[in-house]
Amino acid sequence: MTAASITDMVARNLCTGCGACAGAFPDLIRMVDDPVNGRRPVAKPGPEGRRAAQEATAWCAGGSTSWEDLARADAVDRDWGPVLAAWEGWAADDEIRHRGSSGGAVTALAAFALSSGAADGVAHIAARADDPRLNAAVISVDRAGLLRGAGSRYAQASPAESLGTIARGAEKVAFIGKPCDVASARKAMEADPSLGAKVPLTIAIFCAGAPNLVATGRLLDRLGVPKDGRLVDLRYRGQGWPGLMQAEWIDASGARQVSAGISYAEGWGTILQSERRWRCRVCADHAGAFADIAVGDPWHAPPEGDTDAGRSLIVARTPRGEAFVEAAIRAGVLVAERRPRDVIARAQPNLKATHGAVWGRRAAMRMLGLPAPRDRGQGLMRLWLGLPLRQKAQSVAGTWKRVLRERLWRRVRIAESSR
Ligand SMILES: Cc1cc2nc3c(=O)[nH]c(=O)nc-3n(C[C@H](O)[C@H](O)[C@H](O)COP(=O)(O)OP(=O)(O)OC[C@H]3O[C@@H](n4cnc5c(N)ncnc54)[C@H](O)[C@@H]3O)c2cc1C
Ligand code: SF4
Ligand code: SF4
């Protein structure tokens, strides 16, 4: 559904936190890190702020997207969005592969966008140096800049804040984000074709949901970071595949301390995933259908340990994306082999079931008169009908229970985080 303003989007639980609205109106809308509700936009009080909050909905994909123009030819495309081609591979640059979340393919492709002249810069996110629990939208122009972002950050981040900078500048900038970030980028480019002309490539990472700051706090507790420690690094993935979650801090005596690492399975499975926002649970695109290229983990051939040599699943979603991946392979920056297009279903069986359950969750919301996002032409109901009866029932009944437990009818109010 489309709300009248971004303030309404936030209040009605439709905002994904992509940051596009704040990028469009940087003086009137700012992103705030709310520990529970996530990184969300707040408009300046007064008529100017209200007007910006209304106009910014043109760049916002939180409430609605249209799949009607996406080229979808067969069952793979219908289930996953356009899949023109798929590869498994990794960055040829050993450091990028090692630091990357899976095989460093995203960072390698971004570096190739710079070295080939396809882009003057790359918009992505990186941990904030002053507080690594939080993330900042940055535009990198070299390998060192890109390496700041290598490795997934299982936390709130708003890369689409950079869209405003791109629109106001003259340079060509490639864009990296989660599927919801890329969906807003696409909407913004449709609303402003001059912005579209400056974005030569979009890359989405697969995403099952972004946990909030409460989850980050629990992770830091599990890693043994003391409350009076000054956090200087927090890693969720990378340095091998899938990588360990690990923190570094300066203790009260001024000494640098490094935690033991915990596995991705423990960190995501028992600490982080339960704190995904409700908007993530009604998200119907976890695999970046609106991007030129989407990258995830090839879980069908999982690593044997916690820090194996990484591999990425790379999916071309547009002819432009396919040509770019092929050029990167030819140039020797990406080592990758073609796979059958349906590898995506084998790699991500959970995400397909999640997409199906989302139709039931949204229907359950609407039956209660609550707002839910709408993705026109996606055909989610077909995926729901393919679920076993128990999962169908669970998607509806589980939502009603959650509505009661989390009182999801209440308007969301944003409060800024303090340390
Ligand atoms: C919250 C979250 C959930 C995920 N869920 C899944 C999943 O269910 N299935 C799956 O296969 N993969 C998932 N991933 C993606 C996966 O972890 C890898 O990011 C992906 O395989 C790309 O790996 P890579 O080594 O090629 O990328 P890298 O070379 O490591 O590059 C990663 C890029 O992602 C960007 N990035 C990192 N964190 C964020 C963020 N929070 N928001 C926006 N951009 C970010 C970085 O800036 C960097 O440019 C998730 C990632 C995140 C952040
Ligand atoms: S543009 Fe993004 S951050 Fe702004 S309201 Fe929409 S979903 Fe939220
Ligand atoms: S689950 Fe969907 S809405 Fe949530 S962060 Fe990931 S892509 Fe965005």
- Strands of 44-129, DSSP E: 64-66, 85-91, 121-127
Query: Ligand 1 atom 44: the closest Cα is on which residue?
Result: 177
Tell which one of 18, 153, 268, 280 to mutate to probe ligand 3, the residue whose CB is within 8 A of the most ligand atoms.
Answer: 280
Q: Cα separation of 133 and 149, whole Å? A: 14
Q: Indicate whether residue 361 lines ligand 1 (CB < 6 A).
A: no
pLDDT of residue 1: 61
pLDDT 10s digits, 260-281: 999 999 999 999 999 898 999 9
Q: Cα separation of 22 and 52, whole Å? A: 9
User: Which one-letter DSSP state was computed for residue 211?
Assistant: B
What angle do the packed helices 349-367 and 389-406 form, to 10 degrees? Answer: 60
Residue type, 351: L
pLDDT of residue 353: 87
pLDDT of residue 2: 61
Which is it for strands 64-66 and 374-376: parallel, antiparallel or unpaired?
A: parallel
Q: Which residues contact 186 (CB under 8 A, 6 or more apart)?
A: 61, 202, 290
How many angstroms separate the alpha carbon of residue 259 from the centre of ligand 2?
35
Residues with pLDDT less than 70, the chain: 1-2, 417-419
The ligand 1 atom nearest the CA atom of 150: 30
Q: Which ligand is nearest to the CA of 31?
A: 2
Q: Which residues contact 392 (CB under 8 A, 6 or more apart)?
A: 360, 384, 385
Q: What is the radius of gyration, based on Cα positions, of the chain?
A: 20
**Rounded to 5 degrees, what are φ and ψ at 63?**
-95, -25
pLDDT 10s digits, 290-333: 999 999 999 999 999 999 999 999 999 999 999 999 999 999 99
Q: Which of 159, 172, 122, 177 is nearest to 288 (CA)?
A: 177
Query: Ligand 1 atom 37: the closest Cα is on which residue?
Result: 152
- Topology of domain 75-211+275-348, CATH: Aspartate Aminotransferase; domain 2 (3.40.640)
Please say whether the beta carbons of 180 and 206 come within 8 A.
Answer: no
Q: Cα separation of 82 and 71, whole Å? A: 6
Query: Ligand 2 atom 6: the closest Cα is on which residue?
Result: 60
Please say whether the beta carbons of 306 and 264 come within 8 A.
Answer: yes
Residue type, 365: M
Tell which one of 15, 290, 375 to mutate to probe ligand 2, the residue whose CB is within 8 A of the most ligand atoms.
Answer: 15
Q: How far is CA 242 from the centre of its chain?
A: 17
How many angstroms separate the alpha carbon of residue 250 from the centre of ligand 3?
33
pTM greater than 0.95: yes
Q: Cα separation of 125 and 161, whole Å? A: 10
The ligand 1 atom nearest the CA atom of 314: 26
What separation, in Å, do the N-terminal and C-terminal C-alpha atoms of the chain show?
35
- Strands of 309-358, DSSP E: 312-316, 334-339
Q: How many CB atoms lie within 10 A of CB 85?
A: 17
How many angstroms separate the alpha carbon of residue 392 from the centre of ligand 1?
29
How many angstroms separate the alpha carbon of residue 330 from the centre of ligand 2?
38
Residues with CB under 6 A from ligand 2: 6, 9, 15-21, 41, 59-60, 62, 184
Q: Indicate whether residue 100 lines ligand 1 (CB < 6 A).
A: yes
pLDDT 10s digits, 397-419: 999 999 999 999 999 999 876 55
Q: Which of 370, 360, 357 is nearest to 404 (CA)?
A: 370
Q: Cα separation of 374 and 123, whole Å? A: 27
Tell which one of 10, 12, 16 to mutate to probe ligand 2, the residue whose CB is within 8 A of the most ligand atoms.
Answer: 16
Buried b (16+ CB within 10 A) or exposed e, 303-312: beebbeebbb
Q: How many CB atoms lie within 10 A of CB 94?
A: 11
Residues with CB under 6 A from ligand 3: 16, 178-180, 207, 209-210, 279-280, 283, 286
